[in-house]
Structure 1
Amino acid sequence: MHLHVVDHPLAAMALTVLRDERTPRDRFRPALHDLATMLVYEATRALPVMPVTVTTPLATTAGTRLAAEPVVAPVLRAGLGMLPAALALLPTAHTAFIGLARDETTHQPTAYLESVPDDLAGHPVFLLDPMLATGGSALHCLRLLLDRGARGITVVAVVAAPEGLVALESGLPADAAAELTVVAAAVDERLNDTAYIVPGLGDAGDRIFGLM
């Protein structure tokens, strides 16, 4: 597994806003958009490309375009907060949706929505979820994406827990784990006894969408 922590100063500033318990939703959402833009930008650095020729007002020159249309897969609901940034950078991307509910007793995910293309072979796939905590949700999604033919998947998270990273590496087949990339703004200290990331940023879904 490849881990890339984006340690840019602007990413650190946006993460600070997200961590602050005093940050209201109307500031949390744009800060998440800004940070997600930076994370997806870094996550797409190795996208396969192909050469094209374009004509400028002065001459013909070489250019580049993506070799295959990407697929972005936000994990509902919190991953939806990262989707606009991903689509702004990847406007031709297909969007898959995976809805998971967390069991507060077992801390395991239960799927309620799996809207994913049948054949992902040949498409770069990016799984979007602000929090990589126990790794249970990510593993569920990764196994689904792998079953649909995805290879070399990239997980884009705001913060990750060490326990979640270990779970991904040990919970996937060796070849899939070797091809997996995780891009995050920080790897935090640990999980607490209710499986929340410490110091973390709280419940990302609640902070994005509110709790009624």
Structure 2
Amino acid sequence: MTQHLTIVDHPLVQHKLTIMRDKTTSTAGFRRLLREISLLLAYEVTRELEMTTTTIETPMQTMEAPTLEGKKLALISILRAGNGLMDGILEMIPGARVGFVGMYRDPETLQPVQYYCKVPNELDARMTIVVDPMLATGNSSVAAIDLLKKQGARNLRFLCLLATPEGVARMLEAHPDVPIVTAALDAGLDDHGYILPGLGDAGDRMFGTK
């Protein structure tokens, strides 16, 4: 674990991730496990949300109690697989503002191609959490964060299920100010840019497509 990279090694996260990696796990099971893991990862990625206090009355007495401060955080899903992580986080933080960045990876160049962008306003005043299950080459993630910074985002986090050394290094080079939270750092990439040992294509396994 470094300041730039946090690996959430909680036993429940690791157990659920193992089931997701198994190629015999069903689409419904994969989707459910991704939602469950996203709730657990969300605790770590939101650890530095700003806090203040407010005066409340308990059944016993008046007290100054901790509460979140500032604007609602922004969740940005890198389409399409990011939606699986985002859905779980929204269960815990239903007031979050939501945005989408549509990217696909050119199979020849492995470079990202943007096809959609719709994000909340006032990103400069919000913690912004970018979600995508796979940090593989890092190219799509870097491109998405480039785009969000142009939209004003300053306080950014990147949340993924699996990362590779190549992807982490690419992010560190391009965006050293953006911490990464992940459930596992895998060995690396194959010739087609897929994570090894990985879990296959997260979008396909989540939605039952090929």
TM-score (norm 1): 0.94
Which residue of structure 2 aligns with residue 23 of structure 1? Answer: 25
Matches within 5 A, 1:27-106: 27-68=29-70, 69-106=72-109
| Residues 163-189 of structure 1, C-alpha deviations (whole Å, 9 max, x = no match) | 0011111123xxxx1x21100000000
The separation in 2 between residues aligned to 1:57 and 1:119, in whole angstroms, is 38
Which residue of structure 2 aligns with residue 14 of structure 1? Answer: 16
CA RMSD after TM alignment:
1.2
The separation in 1 between residues aligned to 2:92 and 2:110, in whole angstroms, is 33
Q: Is structure 2 residue 167 aligned with structure 1 residue 169?
A: no
Question: Which one of the candidate residues 180, 183, 194 is aligned to 1:182?
Answer: 180
Secondary structure, aligned partner of 2:101: strand
Alpha-carbon offset, residue 15 of structure 1: 0.5
Alpha-carbon offset, residue 49 of structure 1: 1.1
The separation in 2 between residues aligned to 1:118 and 1:89, in whole angstroms, is 21
Residues 49 and 66, structure 1, Cα contact 8 Å, conserved in 2:
yes
Question: Which one of the candidate residues 97, 110, 132 is aligned to 2:113?
Answer: 110
In structure 2, the gaps of 5 or more residues are: none
* Moved >4 Å (runs of 4+): none
In structure 1, the gaps of 5 or more residues are: none
Which residue of structure 2 aligns with residue 198 of structure 1? Answer: 196
Residues 117 and 148, structure 1, Cα contact 8 Å, conserved in 2:
no
Matched positions, count: 207
| Residues 181-210 of structure 1, C-alpha deviations (whole Å, 9 max, x = no match) | 100000000111000000011000000011
Identity of aligned residues (%): 39
